[in-house]
Chain A
Amino acid sequence: MTRPFFLTAAAALLASSFTAQAAAEEVNVYSNRQEFLIKPMLDTFTKETGIDVNVVFIKDGMGERLEREGRLSPADLVLTVDVSRLMDVVDKDLTQPVQSDVLEQNIPAQYRDADGKWFAVTTRARAIYSSVDRVGKRDDITYEELADPKYKGKICTRSGKHPYNVALTASMIAEHGSEYTKNWLQGLKDNLARKPQGGDRDQIKAIRDGVCDYALGNSYYYGVMLTNDDQREAAESVYINFPNQGDRGTHVNISAVAMTQHAKNKDAALKLMEFLAGDEAQHLYASANHEYPVKPGVDPSDLVKAWGDFKSDTLPLTDVAKHAQEAIKLVDEVKYDL
């Protein structure tokens, strides 16, 4: 087979400019965690190992992008928040199994895939906030009772289609079935004080302002607000309650890491995975982001600890993710956001 000389020469020239770059050890990360949230961990990792970490923050559509890029994808790791977004990547077979004693030791079985296709690095609880002035602490509260007509006009939430709410709804389907969950969503919608809007922090502010008495929100937002001078006052107007302590426990979601199917820097990527599950990174997650570390023995931040221990739902997160699409359908069917 003869190949045109100039084509080969041109391609060789082109290729040489790329091989030159591959010399230094590096890890490429697709993340839907924002850069400034994970930057402290990644910087520490680079300082300790000399391995560079390149990040693209991809809020939405990570699976789609990985799928299109196929074997040419430069990504070695994906960092995701929310279990259904994670499973979207895993189910499309875009990740590969990882064998690591460190990961298996550091991360409890409930928070990792049996085949090693993903590992959670933090958890966050879907809490119910209640007004200090008008309600007080509600240790006995459940997600189910939020649909009770006695809460009419007293509840605030963000969009029903936000991944955090979708995951909660999916966990309700897993627990009670589709029919019950649809009625629950309808009841919850009927109890809303206003159209779903804003983020988790906006719901806490709404309680402070008397728009509503209860709100759904993730635990770490509360921590972030308490440590922010401008937002502390709003955060102090609410209590954080961990629902369903009398039965299955509070719904928790995860942030996770997984190695991509076509990872080229496997060794370096594995090092980063193990680092994220190690003491140092787990501490950083806890202190900077107010999330719950997954590694047993690593304490949450003092602030988070002060909220007290709680029982979390032990339903496997993959079971929750399975119902995510159905959950979105129900949200549409009851026109939750409209």
Chain B
Amino acid sequence: MKRYGWTVSSWGIALVLTLPILALIVEALLPAEDIFRHLWASVLPAYIGNTFWLVSLVMGLSLLFGLPAAWLMAMCELPGRRWLQWALILPLAMPSYIVAFVYTDLLDYSGPVQLALRDWFGWQSAGDYYFPPIRSLGGAALVLGLVLYPYVYLLGRTAFLEQSTSLIQSSRLLGCTPWQSFCRVSLPLARPAIAVGLSLVAMETLAEFGTVNFFAVNTLTTAVYDTWLGYGSLQAAAKISAIMLLVVMVLLSLERMSRKRQQVFQKSMGHEQEAGYRLTGGRKWAALAFCWGLVGLGFLLPFVILCYHAVRYFDQAWNARFFEYSLNSLVLSAVVAVLGLAIALLLGMTHRLKGKRHTVLPLRLAAMGYALPGTVLAIGVLVPLTMMDFAINDLALWLSLPEPGLLLTGTMTAIAFGYLVRFGAMAIGAVESSLNKVSPSLDMVTQTMGYGPAAMIRRVHLPLIRKGMLAGALLVFIECMKELPAALLLRPFNFQTLATYVYQFVSDEQLELGALPAIVIVLVGLIPLIFLNRSLEQHH
């Protein structure tokens, strides 16, 4: 038994995390031909097109924003870099539906920007000039790109920092320009991490609901909602979800296949500060403008607007409920982040210790939930958990005891489980990509020296992947703070998260009143960012 302990527990956890998806697949197999055919004939092709373009655009923008920023922060000496390098992560703490709300307010026809333009140029009506509409596919892509690029940035920068200095120095000695060195050495080495970041961006976009709904862009996620709630057909909704799941799996396998043959291991822990390039003159200013521009648009501007509302409506928003919900969110997110990290470590280590073939599947299975829109996932969570609840109650009846009621779905268990299913992928991805950088020869050496797996993990692997672990747990934490659709469906009585609280106001077009709790979501999200930054600094 002991020999199989790792593998068995990996499979066990992976299966538990896959339960919601299995439930949905079962639903998807149930007949719903009429509605599905009607959807195919009317709107589904357009939704699929929209989804394709949105995901592509957001991935492109995230790369365009995140990759240069990651490289600049890891490799270059810039004034104020200490601040900038963590400021660039800040947009991640912003719920995208809030950023969307702020930008529509600003850039809509009635917003201050267009009003000012009309004033200056004397335009009378919308027909007198062209202004790109913010509530459009492009607008949604821009907002999502601004909020999601930190995934690419964060994982990319970590990858660049972990790169061995000697490799880069060698490439320079062999006559590479900084640009060539970047293209030939740094970028290929960082590709796995960037690919993980991009796939996070893609899946997040695919599952995105608040922003696209707000921008009147109909995607597959919208279709799932409409089908489930409008047509009342969970089966047809599950069919569409299954299509989405398929898309994600194809994306992920393509990404993995593309770097299958490429396995590079680094022996160095990273490089010292002096390895950085020193930018001067125009380049310096361009780099600074680029990075601060990202921070400004993705974080500072929306944040300042939130603060403005929060100050004006402070008296109404500052109350006991606000504190209670803050604590709820904090505890819930921390619990899920720790659990997620534990699962990621178990799965990642099993995969490493027990060979590649039969342990990679649990790893992939456990990460699938991320691709599901929150509401769909919530249904998937409710199905198996209510079944268990009924089993528990039936058992109680059989034992002539009072029924305990909904022990799982009526408590925080359901919501925490839902979050774990949805965001476990982020911890798994981060841990896996860090582990992949640890050379297997280290394992061999350790084993030769007579260490068992436990000692090897504790003394070799954990210290080496600490940053990856921290980044993974951090991502999970922030996502939990912001998560909305699943929370709306899975929370028990008298339990609100900050996100559901804010959403109540936003959905009633009263962001003013939700501004203060929204700021807390952002600020609480910042605390772990500071920790992360500290740990990175100490390392170098």
Question: Which A residues have a C-beta under 8 Å from some C-beta of B?
Answer: 3, 7-8, 11-12, 14-15, 18-19, 28, 34-37, 54-61, 63-65, 68-70, 72-74, 88, 159, 161, 166, 194-199, 201-202, 205-206, 208-211, 230, 325, 328-329, 332-333, 335, 337-338
Contacts and interface: CB of A to CB of B under 8 A. Distances in A.
B77 interface: no
B386 interface: yes
Most chain-B CB neighbours within 10 Å: which of A35, A68, A199, A202? A68
B110 interface: yes
A69 B406 contact: yes
Contacts of A199: 509
Interface string B479-492: 00000000011011
B204 interface: no
Interface in B113-153: 125-126, 133, 135
B102 interface: no
Nearest to B403: A72
Given A35-B504, A59-B507, 16 more contacts: A11-B404, A28-B493, A35-B496, A36-B504, A36-B513, A55-B493, A58-B488, A58-B489, A61-B489, A64-B382, A74-B493, A159-B216, A194-B133, A196-B216, A211-B109, A329-B38
Contacts of B406: 69, 72-74
Interface of B: 38-39, 42-43, 46, 104, 109-110, 125-126, 133, 135, 215-216, 218, 225-226, 228-232, 234, 375, 378-379, 382-383, 386, 389-390, 393, 395-396, 399, 401-406, 409-410, 488-489, 491-494, 496, 500, 504-505, 507-509, 512-513
A73 B513 CA distance: 32
B379 to A, nearest CB: 6
A271 to B, nearest CB: 19
B395 A72 contact: no
Contacts of B389: 72
Among A63, A199, A208, A210, find the residue whose CB has the most chain B CB atoms closer than 10 A: A210
B109 A166 contact: no
Nearest to B50: A338
Contact of A335 (B42, B505, B513): B42
B488 A209 contact: no
Q: 5 smallest A-B Cβ distances: which pairs?
A: A197-B216, A332-B42, A209-B110, A54-B493, A328-B230
A39 to B, nearest CB: 10
Contacts, number: 136
Interface core residue of B42, B215, B496 (most chain A CB under 10 Å): B42
A195 B216 contact: yes
A55 B504 CA distance: 14
Among B229, B234, B382, B492, the most chain A Cβ lie within 10 Å of the Cβ of B229
Given A70-B390, A197-B216, A18 B226 contact: no
25 contacts: A8-B399, A11-B395, A14-B404, A15-B396, A15-B402, A18-B402, A54-B493, A57-B496, A58-B488, A60-B229, A60-B488, A64-B382, A65-B489, A68-B386, A70-B390, A74-B406, A166-B230, A208-B110, A211-B126, A325-B231, A328-B230, A332-B42, A333-B42, A335-B43, A337-B218
Contacts of A19: 402
A335 B46 contact: yes
Nearest to B513: A36
A82 to B, nearest CB: 11
A216 to B, nearest CB: 15
B215 A197 contact: yes
Nearest to A225: B509
